[in-house]
Amino acid sequence: MNRFCASLFLLTLLLGGAVTHAAGQGDRMSLYGFFDFEVGSNDQVGGPAWTFDQHHLNVVSIYRLDDRWRVFAEVEWEHGPDFKTSGTSGAIILERAVVEYKHSDALQLKIGKFLTPFGLYNLRHDASPAFFSTSLPDAVYGAHANTLRAQQRLFAKVATGLQVLGSVLGRSWALDYYLYISNGRGSQPASADNNSNKGIGGRLAVSVLHSAVQLGASYYADRNGTAAQTRQQTVAMDATVHYADFLMEAEMFVPRLERVDLAGRPDGSFRIGRGYYVQVSHPLLERWTPFGRYGLYDPDTGAPGDAERSVVVGLNFAATGAVFFKTEVQLRSFQDPALASYRVWLGSVAVAF
Amino acid sequence: MSTVLGRRVAAALIVAIVAIGSAHAQVAVIVNANNPIGDVTLDELERLYSGRQTAFANGLQVALGEYKPARRLFYGKVLQMTETAVSRHWISVVFSERNATPPRGFQSPDDARRFVVANLGAICFIDLVSVSDDVKVVTIDGRDPRDPKYALR
């Protein structure tokens, strides 16, 4: 199997290179990618000590058929995949594959498998060179327990279906919109829907030029085929303020998850949670950017004492415009006195190419 | 005699350094000579170089270029961003599936001009002193690069 993986990787690079260098097609094919490597430790009882993680090697290929049509694909090799040894480790994922038609900046269409436009970060979910911290704000983007006590994200990270999107530009403002319909989550989300409900979602974001203020709202809903077909809806609001190199990002979200009865079937009642984070950063000497983040996730606003908090303090150093070194300390605590707080240290290098 | 000569050489060097410095400090935005666009607004430049707008007002698809030695001044004025922040921004644009192509970077003004000459939809910024007749300099908000209120001074 590892030969297959290596062959696939080489094929992607060689095919990309061959097309890129084919006569007259140099401007049509573009290859991008990113690599990151992490080291971390935590003082949680039983937690791993000093772990290295070759987290991502992602290659994005974009082929422009003309000014209107393009194919966008991303292949991810995650956690150093190795399927030769006993058991398996890592993963090879076709993260995205879409055909895009651009009528204009204001009206575009995507067909295929895409990252859902949810919140500030999901569209660049794994692209760690694009954000300051090693880990995304997990209050919103992390996995949390659903009503079956299984861990899941509270919206679909990827979706397979149709998407309409665009940017409506005013003289000094812009409105970005995204609307999509997909199979939703299930056992084969990229090839078959296993229930009658479609995953639907959208995002609106308004930006004001020069003042660099952006306000956004996102929505996702489906009947989750990986969680006993429970109905799940999540609404999120976000704000970004970029003023004189100071950057503040804040998001708040409200997940609404259907509960299950003793037989594990959806019972029509809902558990409503909430989560938010605020992150601030300011570069020093252009390349050094310290950042801080406070986040909270409360899985059930009707039940007291079950929230978890995280405080993150870190530093991002841009060695070049494409090579970034990061370090951060996370302090994690719980309202439940039975759960002990703990610290996590993460360091990483992220490279865009 | 040698002292006088030395002073003159020093003065000439200072003038040359100041001239070079001021030349680098003035940036012109150029397009293909056959592009009917003659003026862009600062807002439009911001939208183009942030990847938010991918076509000129006349519908022509844009191909962005940048003359690397002028990045700091141009992006500081147009996007109010440092060079590092601009690089990070374009990493975000590419991986966010936004249908925009990052600027092609050129170390030499000759290469930047050749890029503009070869692409009808090209737009690039270079030193004003490197502009030649085979490309068109566009005004910004109606102001010529020699105007004291030109935006990229």
**For residue B55, what is the nearest residue in chain A, using CA coordinates?**
A105
Structural tokens at position B72: 């700091």
Percentage with pLDDT > 70 across chain A: 91
pLDDT at B16 over 70: no
What mean pLDDT is predicted for residues B138-150?
Answer: 95
Distance from CA of A124 to the nearest CA of B (A): 5
Percentage with pLDDT > 90 across chain A: 77
Contact A316, A289 (CB under 8 A): yes
What mean pLDDT is predicted for residues A80-94?
Answer: 83
CB-based contact (8 Å) between A259 and chain B? no
pLDDT at A329 over 60: yes
What mean pLDDT is predicted for residues A166-189?
Answer: 92
What mean pLDDT is predicted for residues B106-111?
Answer: 96
CB-based contact (8 Å) between A72 and chain B? yes
Mean pLDDT of chain B: 87
> How many beta-carbon pairs under 8 angstroms link A with B?
77
Phi, psi of B33 (to 5 degrees): -60, -25
Structural tokens at position A83: 């399927």
CB-based contact (8 Å) between A34 and chain B? yes
**For residue B93, what is the nearest residue in chain A, using CA coordinates?**
A124
pLDDT at A300 over 90: yes
Of B55, B88, B97, the CB nearest to A130: B88
CB-based contact (8 Å) between A136 and chain B? no
- CA distances from residue A72 to A10, A65, A110, A214, A250 in whole angstroms, order as listed: 18, 11, 10, 26, 29
Predicted confidence (pLDDT) per residue in A135-154, tens digit? 999 999 999 999 999 999 99
Closest to A202 (Cα-Cα) out of A225, A186, A178: A178
Mutate to test the interface with A, among B46, B64, B88 (most CBs of A within 10 A): B88
Least confident of A69-73, A190-194, B27-31: A190-194
pLDDT at B11 over 60: no
- Report how many domains make up chain B: 1
Mutate to test the interface with A, among B99, B101, B115, B141 (most CBs of A within 10 A): B99
Mean pLDDT of chain A: 90
Q: Is residue B33 part of a domain?
A: yes
Of B87, B92, B99, the CB nearest to A321: B87
Measured CA to CA, the distance from residue B23 to residue A111 in angstroms comes to 48
Predicted pLDDT at A20: 43
Predicted pLDDT at A335: 95
Calculate the CA B47 to chain-centre distance.
15
Phi, psi of B65 (to 5 degrees): -130, 155
CA triple A256-A258-A262, angle to 5 deg? 150
Number of C-beta neighbours around residue A320 at 10 A: 11
Predicted pLDDT at A18: 42
Contact A311, A8 (CB under 8 A): no
Structural tokens at position A290: 């310290």
Report the CATH number at residue A298.
2.40.160.10
Of A60, A100, A318, the CB nearest to B99: A100
**For residue A352, what is the nearest residue in chain B, using CA coordinates?**
B91
| Interface contact B53-A129, CB threshold 8 A | no
- Report how many domains make up chain A: 1
Is residue A14 very low, low, confident or very high in pLDDT (cuts 50, 70, 90)?
Answer: very low
Report the CATH number at residue B101.
3.40.190.10
Domain extent for A312: 3-352
Exposure letters A193-216 (e unless 16+ CB within 10 A, then b): bbeebbbbbbbebbbebeebbbeb
Q: Where are the alpha helices (DSSP H) in chain A?
A: 2-21, 138-141
Predicted pLDDT at A88: 76
CB-based contact (8 Å) between B92 and chain A? yes
| Interface contact B80-A210, CB threshold 8 A | yes
Cβ neighbours of residue B118 under 8 Å, at least 6 residues apart? none
Least confident of A31-35, A117-121, B20-24: B20-24
Who wins on pLDDT, A15 or A228?
A: A228
ipTM: 0.86
| Interface contact B54-A130, CB threshold 8 A | no
What mean pLDDT is predicted for residues B39-61?
Answer: 92
Number of C-beta neighbours around residue A80 at 10 A: 14
Q: A66 exposed, middle or buried (CB, 10 Å; 0-12, 13-18, 19+)?
A: exposed
Q: A269 exposed, middle or buried (CB, 10 Å; 0-12, 13-18, 19+)?
A: exposed
Is residue A279 very low, low, confident or very high in pLDDT (cuts 50, 70, 90)?
Answer: very high
Is residue B17 very low, low, confident or very high in pLDDT (cuts 50, 70, 90)?
Answer: very low
What mean pLDDT is predicted for residues B47-60?
Answer: 92
- CA distances from residue B88 to A12, A324, B67, B80 in whole angstroms, order as listed: 25, 10, 18, 14
What mean pLDDT is predicted for residues A209-223?
Answer: 90
Predicted pLDDT at A212: 78
CB-based contact (8 Å) between B118 and chain A? no
Predicted pLDDT at A49: 77
Predicted pLDDT at A23: 39
Number of C-beta neighbours around residue A274 at 10 A: 16
Contact list in A for residue B53 (CB cut-off 8 A) is: 105, 167, 169
| Interface contact A32-B94, CB threshold 8 A | yes
Measured CA to CA, the distance from residue A60 to residue A12 in angstroms comes to 10
Predicted pLDDT at A28: 87
Contact list in B for residue A283 (CB cut-off 8 A) is: 82, 84-85
Least confident of A20-29, A169-178, A212-221, B67-76: A20-29
Contact list in B for residue A67 (CB cut-off 8 A) is: 61
Measured CA to CA, the distance from residue B89 to residue B51 in angstroms comes to 9
pLDDT at A11 over 80: no
pLDDT at B19 over 80: no
Predicted pLDDT at A8: 52
Contact list in B for residue A212 (CB cut-off 8 A) is: 80
| Interface contact B97-A114, CB threshold 8 A | yes
Q: Is residue B99 part of a domain?
A: yes
Measured CA to CA, the distance from residue B96 to residue B94 in angstroms comes to 5
Predicted confidence (pLDDT) per residue in A221-235, tens digit? 999 999 999 999 999
CB-based contact (8 Å) between A96 and chain B? yes
Q: Is residue B6 part of a domain?
A: no
Domain extent for B75: 26-140
